[in-house]
Amino acid sequence: METTAHPYWPRTLSLPGYVTSARPGWQCAGAVAAAGAGLLALGWALSGAERSAARRLAVSWFLVCAGVHGVLEGYFSLRHRELPADTGLLAEVWKEYAKADSRYMTSDDFTVAMESVTAWAWGPLSFLTFLAFLCRHPARFVLQLVVSLGQLYGDILYFATEARAGWTHSDPHPLYFWVYFVGLNGIWVVVPAALIADACKHLSAAQRAHDSPRQKAH
């Protein structure tokens, strides 16, 4: 049903052509959670039992990121203008998340730019990083560092721009602000920060080994 009423904040927000979601929020959130769990399990299975549990989780993380960035954020990058009136599953996933950040419903310039970079740069590079770890490519930790830095930088800007706007685009309900906005996005602060430290550790060790007298003798 087409309506001018909507569940987004600020309540004065105008969304002409908005069509109410046909699916309840739990179905949209559940679909994303199930897809993420499936990618995590696939990454774990493909990463090989010879790796440590922490490394297998890190490898699996990049497969999850490839899916989230490439599919969800890729969809938003291409369809953000049609989002308020769209009733497909991916559109309704974004409509549910937009209760935590209504900038996704208004084609906000920063949000579109940030999500487009995430979709078309960090998405493919996340998958490339996943493949690099599977085949033990020597550039795997370089890719881990590049992708994680990009993710962390984008997420910091995402939080910072909303903070400067006075946190006005989120429903204050704890589910939407603390779970969706802070919790979900916080994952892309904590995990990339840990992976940056991990990549720096391995790259520093490789550089030390390269600079050692024994190496110079060769």
Give the model's pLDDT for residue 83. Answer: 96
Looking at residue 39, what is its pLDDT? 98
Nearest Cα neighbor of 138 from 32, 210, 87 is 210
Q: Which two tokens stand for residue 164?
A: 């400067």
pLDDT for the residue numbered 212? 87
- Asked if 171 contacts 8 with a C-beta cutoff of 8 angstroms, the reply is yes
| AA letter at 187 | I
Number of continuous H segments (helices) and E segments (strands) in the chain: 10, 0
What confidence score (pLDDT) does residue 215 get?
52
Residue 213, pLDDT score: 79
Given this model, what pLDDT does residue 216 score? Answer: 52
d(Cα 164, Cα 72) in Å, to the nearest integer? 26
- Report the amino acid identity of residue 56: R
Q: What is the pLDDT of residue 45?
A: 97
Write out the DSSP string of 128-151.
Answer: HHHHHHHTT-TTHHHHHHHHHHHH
Q: What is the chain's pLDDT, residue by residue, as a tens digit (218 residues)? A: 444 689 999 999 999 999 999 999 999 999 999 999 999 999 999 999 899 999 999 999 999 999 999 999 999 999 999 999 999 999 999 999 999 999 999 999 999 999 999 999 999 999 999 999 999 999 999 999 999 999 999 999 999 999 999 999 999 999 999 999 999 999 999 999 999 999 999 999 999 999 987 655 44
